Structure 1
Amino acid sequence: MEQPISTERGFATGAEARRAVREGRLSCQTSSLAPGFVQGNLVILPQDLASDFLRFCQRNPKPCPIIGMTEPGDPRLPDLGADLDLRTDLPRYRVWRDGELVDEPADILSHWRGDLVGFVIGCSFSFEEALIADGLEVRNVAAGVNVSMFRTSIPCAPAGRFAGPMVVTMRPFSPADAIRAIQITSRFPAVHGAPVHIGLPEQIGIADLGKPDYGDPVEMRDGELPVFWACGVTPQAVIAAARPPFAITHAPGAMLVTDLKNSRLSIL
């Protein structure tokens, strides 16, 4: 179930945003939350599945670009934030058993185990800042809603027991702005890079842009094209398909805000 969006959104740093999460002052959607700071998707798996998932990410770098990975049993990633704790620092989590969603807690302290390995995966919220800085309207940000996300018919390359469909985010642009969006996001491969598809959503298995599988619908205006980027929610579709005994993810749109600056991810 989608959680309400916090009205407190003006954070100067990633550390301030994480503090607000821990103190219960922030719930769910984090797009544009702490401008300038990298956000990440989360996947946590038992150690005996971690190597398969790592290979899955390596074979599918568009939807699953890894920006951080923990040691078994350690919830901290000092390279992404000195005080960062994967158990408490996301607004909402999802707990999975045998591929079924069983809980959506505000923290995972009671679910944490000594054999768990955390993966932080790049998020397209990071390149939204660059789009906006170039004068492009990012519709979900302008409307104050979560980005639209869709399961597609695009298969991911399998690895071990992990296989399933790619999930994409969608943002509408005029044709001219879509070209510019491709140019801008191509500079950010660590947060999904260039789009994987433009227009004709039915060609990638999307029947209705008004009914996203995750997130919120956004307005499509006359003359606009839907532009689709690979999405870090892909592991959740893969977990549902692969049915591992236990997994934890972020709730879609409820990201980990790090201390890493977005500018460090640009290749130009």
Structure 2
Amino acid sequence: MSATYQQLKSRTLPEQRAAIRAGEYCSHTAGLGQGYLQANLAIMPEAYALDFMRFCQRNPKPCPLTGVSDTGNPMMATMGRDIDIRTDVPAYNIYRDGKLAGSAHDIRDIWQDDLVAFALGCSFTFEHAILRAGIPVWHIENDTTVPMFRSNIDTVPAGPFRGKMVVSMRAVPEDRVDAVVEISRRFPLAHGAPVYWGDPAKIGIADVANPEWGDPAPVHPGEVPVFWACGVTPQVALEAARLPLCITHKPGHMLITDVAEDAEIPVLTFT
């Protein structure tokens, strides 16, 4: 039995993750997991893992590393009491030789003993604080996926990993931009403060109404497009690296962890 977005929003975090694991919910996770860190995902053979960790260390804004699995072990123990990285993301993208080969809602059938999973913080985490401040978030209110764009901002290469930074966009009322900057700054594991706001062309975005990932979102008169570093950046780097196999989340479809949303370092306390 499938669950709708509104139904899932009213459930507890364990119930939300259980519905995702059971395949009852396969859509975006914006607005879910209130109070907890959401994470982007990158899974690859161990032979490439150290270079990818270097890439994350050199690019902390788009790649805030929050967790790494043991080789071959799909249980992300540092992210939650019972998180199976093969089943607990609503949708996965599968890349072979740098090309998108397909999507899936469960990757148990392609899991390998040499794979390492990386969790990277997501900007969905700080959206709850923005909403609590009375600032609207259009894609949550309209049940869509945040728009994401490839910018002209270079990342710092590491091994085979390189490429332009991907950014996510939210339109913010002009008189609330400073507030949004300060709110998001408090969430360093969720990309922190924006990297830019204002004219999209200045960061290489020709048409803000035509995102490369996610869904279009309007910028109304009196609003400013605000751009945050985005966890889809590693997917661009993975494409450039042309790994024989890598698996990511489908943009907008995150892992909801048990880590507190305002954590500076992922720490779990089980009682």
Tell whether the structures are fold-level matches, with TM greater than 0.5: yes
- Aligned in 2, Cα 1:255/1:116: closer, same or farther, shift over 3 Å? same
Distance, in Å, in 2 between the alignment partners of 1:72 and 1:172 is 40
Structure 1 residue aligned with 2:249? 250
The question of whether the paired residues in 2 share the 8 Å contact of 1:164 and 1:242 is answered with no
Give the match for residue 33 of structure 2.
34
1:15 alignment partner in structure 2: 14
**Distance in 1 between the 2:89 and 2:69 partners?**
16
Give 1:203 deviation, angstroms: 1.1
SS at match of 1:238: helix
Deviation at 1:241, TM superposition (A): 2.0
Contact kept, 8 Å, 1:150 with 1:169, in 2: the verdict is yes
Q: 1:119 to 1:210 in 2, by over 3 A?
A: same
Q: Does the CA contact (< 8 Å) of 1:57 and 1:64 recur in 2? A: yes
Q: What is the alpha-carbon distance in structure 1 between the residues aligned to residue 86 and residue 27 of structure 2?
A: 15
Structure 2 matches for 1:1-268, cutoff 5 A? Answer: 6-265=5-264
Deviation at 1:7, TM superposition (A): 4.9
SS at match of 2:104: coil
Deviation, structure 1 residue 238:
1.2
Distance in 1 (alpha carbons) for counterparts of 2:76 and 2:98: 26
Shift of residue 110, structure 1, vs aligned partner: 0.9
Q: Per-residue deviation at 1:115?
A: 0.4
- CA shift digits 1:126-180 (9 cap, x unpaired): 0001111111111111111110100111110000110001000000012221111
Query: Structure 1 length normalisation: TM-score?
Result: 0.94
Gaps of 5+ in 1: none
Matched-pair contact (CA < 8 Å) for 2:38–2:257 = yes
CA distance in 2, matches of 1:56, 1:5: 37
Matches of 1:5 and 1:59 in 2, distance apart? 39
- Structure 2, unmatched stretches of 5+, are 266-271
Task: Give the superposed CA RMSD.
Answer: 1.5
Secondary structure in 1 matching 2:51 = helix
Q: Name the amino acid aligned to 2:149.
A: F
Cα contact 2:99–2:242 (8 A) shared by 1: yes
> 1:70, 1:77 within 8 Å by CA — same for their partners in 2?
yes
- Say if 1:92 and 1:250, in contact at 8 Å, map to a contact too: yes
How high is the sequence identity, in percent, across the aligned residues?
46
